Structure 1
């Protein structure tokens, strides 16, 4: 009898689409939507220099019919409109490449790892708590992108993977941002529009903050511990000793390192102050990162040619992720060109008028979550949503405080998963985490946050939550 040859199976051609492919498909769906959804617009007014939607003024308009060239032109326009974020990401890469090459970050993090050896949980918990508090008080929002590299160094030193790096920085930051009990850019603006005392209702928000942060730390540590026990549990593969020249735990932490890190911390601290008190923008951040890079290179004793070359090497590493931000913005551009964003906002608000108070509150949350796909600026979404939600809350019998929190949850939670979030895509780019891998890891955590948000809104309606 002849020996049977093994059956050759056809290799599947399917593989997970690249992030660029996913975003282009989203862009194409938005393009098709402009032919299906009628154009419309709300009237707007400018109050204290801020443009606001006037409730009950929606009307259909004659929209421009887009052509195929408009689809591709939206990519170019999205890149231009996102130029400030794109260059901020590139300059972040250049700055941290210089700091990383100096050995200062590795030195201080290695010292922290040695101090917490056997109790790595506390290192992850403390770092996560710091970033969560920074998000809750509005001290760090877009700026979290710059700190993802710190998460990368920590994850690398602990032999974890890049997902952990994003989780303990970006993820923790938005655990706090989603509640934002003293955030002037989201809660402050929303409560001002709703005519509520600024930062009122803090007691319940702090309780929810502690709950969300605690579960986020638990979820992150659960994954990190699995990797420590068995590296094959990683969704991406762990960092190796020789990856990116990281060195080991015995790397020295010299006086020069201490001076460099003191300089960087003081600079970043001043930037946080300038962002909240002096009105500094992303453009200021980008310029300041060049200043920090130059100062760090000088303190590290690097040759001027080495400073320039190292900075450019750092920017080169983040080109892939920086361009993603522009492509994500192009989705909004195509919807704006088709004049259908206001139509979508109006369609989201209409069903809420006929629901019971509890369901209306949840409906507000869902509507704002969907709106966050289109408008992922916290303050920008407040300007669009709160003038609509405030009178709606009065009509359906829920407090304005509930309406504000519905907006906050809708604006914050979905930043974990929506690819149109420039901060998310930039953070993933810095850590070199594919969007599909991140989504697979973070989606169960997002569902946990979702349940907490819904339960919070139900309790808030039941207790008739008002200013406190």
Structure 2
């Protein structure tokens, strides 16, 4: 997960080490923060667990985190993340078949010929496509497509950071706006009793604003580094890449009809997965099935030897193993927090602190709290089940519209999924793309600050206009 070239000064530790350090922090907190629990009930109609915010009790920690508990959490984290991990393994295996067949190279060469002189437009289109994927709830589901988009952007002469940002920031802003994102918008609205996906117009407008901010930021960096490669965050690698491109001779892959059909099949996978997730309620098992079907489709349409294709599928999946472990280790943090029973305590303290503040102060405080809380609990739906039962009643007490509270949750949750080092999805994307975490932070921190500022302005506007359920 490192870029080429020499590095000076402090380097971030390996992602596995970072997760272990955060887990140690949770253990330390478990000795300081008292355990507590809200009363919980299960809605018989929806099956959603709800918190009774009127009943909270401090409890004696039932199961203090022991030595073996700490390390067992790593195993349990991988097991509990199995649905995401398996989907990514299937996707990586299928896309490796496509890559090895030459179809991707042929398609990219053709696209680069068409894109001559239209590089900025291509970046905008790719960013928008990934933003659309994000806004329908593709978080980890969009990760397998990042290397494909990066190959196009780097092929147009931009550096690795520009290429990674084009796709990853698209997912970030789309997931945050969450127009039809069930994992944040849908779950949050169902908890507070709003119609699912209500307030759609406001979220689409927010997405357009986020896209505008992001494309300007990326293109400024892209233009600067293309004009002077030494200003690239990964200058050593970028200069080497440009030098190799000058002397390299490529034998262009013919864009045959079977290869065109194979790439159209990839588009069908993306569209079909989106439709299934939104309209049919598909989860990770169905998405994994789609990639398994696509792999078989590739064997047939590209006339691949079945046994050799099966072996290649395994090789492609194996490339994602380090990333898969990172996703599981991220889940380990939540496992330890749950065992320590300190999540409800933190939420209860938050409710007490904000109960006597004004609406704007409360909105800002909640926005910051969700951002911070996302460091420990990355799951959008899981965090919604913890926080929305508190934020909903708190909004009623202070006269804040429930739709506004949902927006606060969404905007606080989404962006930092692509910034905090505890995000398994981000670490997966970095690993697949050979981008160093420190380089990513160096590029993106200002952009995330701007986006969070814009998001809070939108929250204030939503409160001012009394954003309703329509």
Pair in the same fold by TM > 0.5:
yes
1:30 is paired with a residue whose SS is helix
> Structure 2 vs 1, CA of residues 87 and 230 (structure 1 numbering), >3 Å: closer, same or farther?
farther
Matched position secondary structure for 1:59: strand
Alignment correspondent of 2:288: 286
Per the alignment, residue 7 of structure 1 pairs with none
Give the total of aligned pairs. 455
Task: Give the TM-score, by structure 2 length.
Answer: 0.89
CA contact (8 A) 2:136 2:278 kept: no
8 Å contact kept, 1:105–1:153: no
Q: Does the 8 A contact of 1:165 with 1:431 survive in 2? A: no
Kept in 1: contact 2:34–2:58 (CA 8 A): yes
Aligned match of 2:429: 427
Kindly indicate whether the alpha-carbon contact (under 8 Å) linking 1:402 and 1:457 is maintained by their aligned counterparts in 2.
yes
Q: 1:217 to 1:254 in 2, by over 3 A?
A: same
Contact kept in structure 1, 2:185 and 2:197, CA below 8 Å: yes
- Other-structure match for 1:325: 327
Shift of 1:29: 0.8
Name which of 417, 420, 432 aligns with 1:418.
Answer: 420
What is aligned with 1:218? 216
Which residue of structure 2 lines up, in the alignment, with residue 130 of structure 1?
129
Verify: 1:395 aligned to 2:393, yes or no.
no
CA distance in 2, matches of 1:375, 1:163: 27
**For 1:251, what is the secondary structure of its paired residue?**
coil
CA-based RMSD of the aligned residues comes to 2.5
Specify the alignment match of 1:463 in structure 2: 465
Alignment partner of 1:371 is 2:369: no
Shift in Å at residue 13 of structure 1? 8.5
SS at the partner of 2:41? strand
Q: How big is the shift at 1:137?
A: 3.5
Q: 1:106 to 1:231 in 2, by over 3 A?
A: farther
Give the TM-score of the pair, scaled to structure 1: 0.90
Moved more, 225-234 or 435-444: 225-234
1:33-44 → structure 2 map (5 Å cutoff): 33-44=29-40
* Equivalent residue number for residue 120 of structure 2: 121
SS at match of 1:373: coil
- Worse-superposed segment, 272-281 or 117-126: 272-281
Corresponding residue of 1:194: 192
Task: Indicate the larger mover: 122-131 or 375-384.
Answer: 375-384
**1:259-278 equivalent positions in 2, closer than 5 A:** 259-278=261-280
Partner of 2:54: helix, strand, or coil? Answer: coil
Partner of 2:4: none
* Alpha-carbon shift at residue 388 of structure 1 (Å): 1.2
Residue 166 of structure 1, aligned match among 151, 164, 167: 164
Aligned counterpart in structure 2 of residue 17 of structure 1, from 13, 17, 22: 13
The 1-side partners of 2:293 and 2:256 are apart by 23
Q: 1:234 Cα shift?
A: 3.1
Q: More deviation in 99-108 or 29-38?
A: 99-108
The answer for unaligned runs of 5 or more in structure 1 is 1-10
CA 1:210/1:12 → structure 2, altered by over 3 Å: closer, same or farther? closer
Tell me if structure 2 keeps the 8 A contact 1:428–1:434: yes
CA distance in 1, matches of 2:399, 2:381: 25
Q: Distance in 1 between matches of 2:165 and 2:287?
A: 23
Distance 1:247 1:390, change over 3 A: farther
Q: Which moved more, 1:162-171 or 1:339-348?
A: 162-171
How big is each residue's C-alpha offset from its partner over 1:117-150, in whole Å with a ceiling of 9 and x where there is no partner?
Answer: 1220100101111221232244x33311121122
**Paired position in structure 2 for 1:235:** 233
In the TM superposition, residue 12 of structure 1 has moved relative to its aligned partner by 8.6
Q: 1:154-210: per-residue Cα shift (whole Å, max 9, x none)? A: 133223344333322232122022112333442233223323344333333333221
> Which digits, 9 at most, give the CA deviation of each residue in 1:294-335, with x for residues without a partner?
321332233234313322322232222221111111111111
The answer as to whether partners of 1:341 and 1:374 remain within 8 angstroms in 2 is no
Deviation string, structure 1 residues 226-285 (Cα, Å, up to 9, x no partner): 333233333332484879xx9849432111211211223223322222222333222332
**Bigger shift: residues 276-285 or 119-128:** 276-285
Mind listing any 5+ residue stretches in structure 2 that lack a counterpart? 1-6
For residue 212 of structure 1, report the CA deviation from its aligned partner: 0.9
